[in-house]
Amino acid sequence: HMGLIYVNPEGPNANPDPLAAARYIRQTFKRMAMNDEETVALIAGGHTFGKAHGASPDDQVGPEPEGASIEEQGFGWTNARGTGMASDAVTSALEGAWTNNPVQWDNNFLENLHNHEWELITGPGGKSQYQPVDAASVATVPDAHDPSKAHAPMMLTTDLSLRMDPDYAPIARRFLENPGDFEDAFARAWFKLTHRDMGPRARYLGPLVPEEALLWQDPVPAVDHELVGAAEIADLKARVLASGLSVSQLVATAWASAATFRGTDKRGGANGARVRLAPQKDWEVNDPAELAGALQALEQVRADFNGSQSGGVRISLADLIVLAGCAGVEQAARDAGREVEVPFAPGRTDATEEWTDAESFAVLEPTADGFRNYLQGGRDEPAEELLVERACLLTLTAPEMTALVGGMRALGANAGGSQHGVLTDRPGALTNDFFVNLLDMSTEWQAGGGSEDVFEGRDRETGDVKWTGTRVDLVFGSNSELRALAEVYGSDDGQDDFVRDFVAAWGKVMNLDRFDLA
């Protein structure tokens, strides 16, 4: 039902039913996080300008640029009718303009929509569209190319949805009667539509940046305290390690907070500590009960630390969650005989429930996270492909993805406490054991565990089960490119390279949403 833009303007499957079309409009605009008011504003405002082009059926229009012959050099959609332009133009094959002055912002779309009764016709392009019942007497739309001609306004099936749908109709009527409300609603919805993939306000540039923070921008408060320095960071790490939380809990909590980031639209990430708010705190992948206990312990560490400071130094929970993960990784490296310092940059703040759009954040819930060996039931795609997809969202390279998976397995950070892929007898220590044991040729991997996604690693001589793993784990021995990386990290001298690369990749994920550091 894609049609020209968003939904088929003729209606579902070209069925000119405005009420049926409304259902698809609502579904499609909801995917863009637009509510009913924003949807009405965008359609009515967008159709205040311009016209549709359908001088004739589109059978005279050539193939799209990628399908056109090589000599067309990427132009495509060549129109054989007349000049192919102006009054001969064919794009959607729908024809006409909605308003009396299609180059000026006004309320005329809504006026025409409500002040005429509309009848279904087949336009010159052969498509279903609507004209006023008294079309001959309301030729109020100037021709786009010939000043001696005028036309009646037209409406599409999807336009009439705004008048006929029981939820859209009162909004459209209110906008008709209150042009100022319509103008403001369109301005806000258009700004949202064209800026949503830019991420938080910290990324905006120039003198036209609005001062008002908007809910869909996922705003976080400004820092209102002095940030922790080296001495306070060392103190906090000691407090965290003495809190009773395990390395795996510290790492899992930090990952749950930071790994929501999406490089596609720059949403998610650790800033704001929204992992403590709905809906993230209740996501299955985050082990809600385990997460709640870890957050409670970290809240206590934060309260004790902030209460002990005589000056203006404070730490947010968002910062502490990340710092606790850093402390966990450093302790894990220490347990493996390596001293490392995981980079940490304070400056995150804690978002409020009031400024968190729970419905909008719900779409960030991972249905698969190979880094935590998590796969929600009902997914048909191979788990290893979903891992690569998640890595792409996190803007990770193949080596970064490889190091992180191996490290997360060694640290025991699987969702649900699963032991799949924990190929080590030293869980919690940052070792390269995952790679060493995955590539051990004395182990034979076989399907097992009652699932096509779970495998058993058996001793080739005794047949005893040594390990279990998933498709995500085994792909690092199966795929030639990933195996090459695994062999680097799993070699006798690969431990230092592995720890170095894991720490770097970990720091990258923790700071993906820190646009203020760029």
Is 10 buried (19+), middle (13-18) or exposed (0-12) by CB count in 10 A? buried
Is pLDDT above 90 for 4? no
Round to whole Å and give the CA distance between 126 and 363.
39
Does residue 113 carry a pLDDT above 60?
yes
Contact 327, 243 (CB under 8 A): no
Cis geometry, peptide bond prior to residue 124 (ω within 30 degrees of 0): no
Contact 218, 272 (CB under 8 A): yes
201: nearest Cα among 261, 191, 510, 37: 191
392-402 pLDDT, tens digit per residue, is 999 999 999 99
| Residue 71 near residue 34 (C-beta atoms within 8 A) | no
Q: Which residue has the tokens 């739309």?
A: 141
**pLDDT bucket at 448, cuts 50 / 70 / 90:** confident
Q: How does pLDDT run across 261-297, given as a tens digit for each residue?
A: 999 999 999 999 999 999 999 999 999 999 999 999 9
For the chain, report the end-to-end CA distance as a whole number of angstroms: 41
Is a pLDDT exceeding 70 seen at residue 340?
yes
d(CA 174, CA 155): 19
Q: What are 503-512's pLDDT values in tens digits?
A: 999 999 999 9
> Which residue ranges form the domains of the chain, and what is each CATH number?
12-54+91-198 (1.10.420.10), 230-517 (1.10.520.10)
How high is the pLDDT of residue 2?
43
Mean of the pLDDT values across residues 143-168? Answer: 97
Burial of residue 114 (CB within 10 Å: 0-12, 13-18, 19+) is: middle
Question: If DSSP codes are grouped into helix, strand and coil, which group holds residue 204?
Answer: coil
* pLDDT score for 98: 98
Task: Report residue 278 as tokens.
Answer: 């709905």
- For the chain, give the mean pLDDT: 96
Which letter does DSSP use for residue 3 in this model?
A: -
Name which of 83-87, 222-226, 253-257, 471-475 the model is least confident about: 83-87
Within 13 Å of residue 51, how many CA atoms lie on the same side as its CB? 25
* Helix 480-490 / helix 471-478 crossing angle, nearest 10 deg: 90
